[in-house]
Structure 1
């Protein structure tokens, strides 16, 4: 019997639903169901009845509920005693990102005794770092069209992907662009534009165009006029020329303080699934959960 099994059981009892428990535990419903079934098998007793009206705790489940809560409470006390005086560590992998950096600063401000490690890399590097235990979670995004294949690939690394939001691909344009007055743009119109590429930011797709295929956009056919890693240079290009930049459509964009707009791309398959990868059957630490909540809130704006 593992503490994780008891945690999933107690949370499912408290929530009255496997799907709600999955949200609270920062995992998926199938994973919650799998863990609880493993506990039932070990105990040789049924803990829940699955009915049309939802989840119902059996009499046996009710009899061990308080015992399970007390075990988890005592385990938490022991953990706190062992780590007293030691800073907790939060390790995370992501694409290079100003927004992720801002959220990590907020996390530190609310937890001044924490030790933060932020590793940056490509999709493959991020998933490898999480699989090897270098990072607790990895923040990334995947084309919705490729999501099923991506989940299958990372399952071989014993990882799972938890989606936090779906966002459309977009382009950023400045006041000198003839598209400035528009709200959206067609796929066909993309190929008549000139782009800047190379800004290493999580919410810019240029960082790994070769790894993410968004719908029918053929990135290799786009006209990239400028390559740079200077955010200041990109901002000035957008403000003073008709050059545009690919990105992700967010209500609170990275250019919100400038006269720069984001136009969503009119195509069914231009949605991106944004979320995090973690090791299967692992439970997020409280610090990791706090960071995920920050990111989830930002994506909801």
Structure 2
């Protein structure tokens, strides 16, 4: 059994448009010509792909089974054409990457800068989000690489074992926060403070909750929950709040003397950051270039003793 990319494109266009007439208009074909092409595809498959109704076209069970494969084959063909065009200088390749905030703040910008110096014809589509959004982006082909703290692999998404590294999170406060005057600061001492944090379901929230549980300390009341890193930093710097944040997230404010970690006895909170990809299909060449640079960068990040 073999299909042409043209047949698969017609098939997916009908699915997108919902009717033969709208699909024919989109493709610039007559409706009879498109109908004949789909019948030839159905003959190749050996079964109807659509149930034809007065209000449109509905996929059969066989059509439902064919659809994800048809979409994947088309995307692989587009990636291959894009790579060949880029090699001939006809078209720029596209790096499609997503990352959680801490990676988007430090490691990813450095990696992208280095890649674009070597391959100036490439362009970048970068997305920032929590793991659920990144996983969805991988499955819909909105991104080709996801950089996150989650280590949940599925039948469709796999971790890239040789592209992972460690960073550390801390309780962060302004440079003049009253807790800095306390000797031998303990994690329990933070419970009486006003906290701001990203919402439940985000990586910082989960990491902080796990760290407090491991230390046997109750999880504090969070006065302000927000996905806005800018707001969190402003609350810490201007309003006396404390937060939970990885080192790369506040390195500029630390350098400026605005905020820094609180030195809490016994607190050590590492987390593993990992690159992920779809299991199926070939990783596009622009994504491979970024991945190679990430491997180079993260291999130089030292582990703490």
TM-score tier after normalising by the smaller chain length: 0.5 to 0.7
**1:126 CA displacement:** 1.5
Matched, 1:130 2:138: yes
Matched, 1:91 2:90: no
Q: In the aligned structure 1, how far is the partner of 2:97 from the partner of 2:300?
A: 18
**1:105 CA displacement:** 5.6
Aligned length: 209
**1:178 CA displacement:** 2.3
Alignment of 1:47-196 (within 5 A): 83-85=87-89, 86-96=91-101, 97-99=104-106, 102-103=109-110, 106-107=113-114, 109-110=116-117, 111-142=119-150, 150=151, 153-162=152-161, 164-180=164-180, 186-196=186-196
* CA distances 1:54-80 after superposition (whole Å, capped 9, x unpaired): xxxxxxxxxxxxxxxxxxxxxxxxx76
TM-score normalised over the length of structure 1: 0.54
Q: In the aligned structure 2, how far is the partner of 1:164 from the partner of 1:184?
A: 34
Q: Which has the higher helix share?
A: 2
| C-alpha contact 1:183 1:264 (8 A) present in aligned 2 | no
Q: Equivalent residue of 2:156, what SS?
A: coil
Q: In the aligned structure 2, how far is the partner of 1:241 from the partner of 1:176?
A: 11
- List runs of 5+ in structure 1 lacking aligned partners: 1-78, 143-149, 200-204
Alignment of 1:22-33 (within 5 A): none
**1:165 CA displacement:** 2.0
1:43 alignment partner in structure 2 = none
Q: Equivalent residue of 1:154, what SS?
A: coil
2:261 alignment partner in structure 1 = 262
- List runs of 5+ in structure 2 lacking aligned partners: 1-82
1:16 alignment partner in structure 2 = none
Q: Equivalent residue of 1:243, what SS?
A: coil
| C-alpha contact 1:196 1:226 (8 A) present in aligned 2 | yes
**1:245 CA displacement:** 1.4
**1:139 CA displacement:** 0.6
Q: Equivalent residue of 2:188, what SS?
A: helix
Q: Equivalent residue of 2:222, what SS?
A: strand
Alignment of 1:212-223 (within 5 A): 212=207, 214-217=209-212, 221-223=219-221
**1:123 CA displacement:** 1.1
> Structure 2 vs 1, CA of residues 100 and 249 (structure 1 numbering), >3 Å: closer, same or farther?
closer
TM-score normalised over the length of structure 2: 0.53
Q: Which moved more, 1:261-270 or 1:153-162?
A: 261-270
| C-alpha contact 1:175 1:240 (8 A) present in aligned 2 | no
Q: In the aligned structure 2, how far is the partner of 1:195 from the partner of 1:253?
A: 20
**1:140 CA displacement:** 0.7
| C-alpha contact 2:165 2:298 (8 A) present in aligned 1 | no
Matched, 1:286 2:276: no
Q: In the aligned structure 2, how far is the partner of 1:183 from the partner of 1:84?
A: 65
**1:296 CA displacement:** 5.4
Larger-Rg structure: 2
1:273 alignment partner in structure 2 = 272
| C-alpha contact 2:95 2:122 (8 A) present in aligned 1 | yes
> Structure 2 vs 1, CA of residues 166 and 287 (structure 1 numbering), >3 Å: closer, same or farther?
closer
| C-alpha contact 1:184 1:266 (8 A) present in aligned 2 | yes
| C-alpha contact 1:166 1:272 (8 A) present in aligned 2 | yes
Q: Which moved more, 1:249-258 or 1:165-174?
A: 249-258
After superposition, the CA RMSD in angstroms is 4.1
Aligned with 2:224 (options 218, 223, 226):
226
Q: In the aligned structure 2, how far is the partner of 1:252 from the partner of 1:300?
A: 20
| C-alpha contact 2:166 2:303 (8 A) present in aligned 1 | no
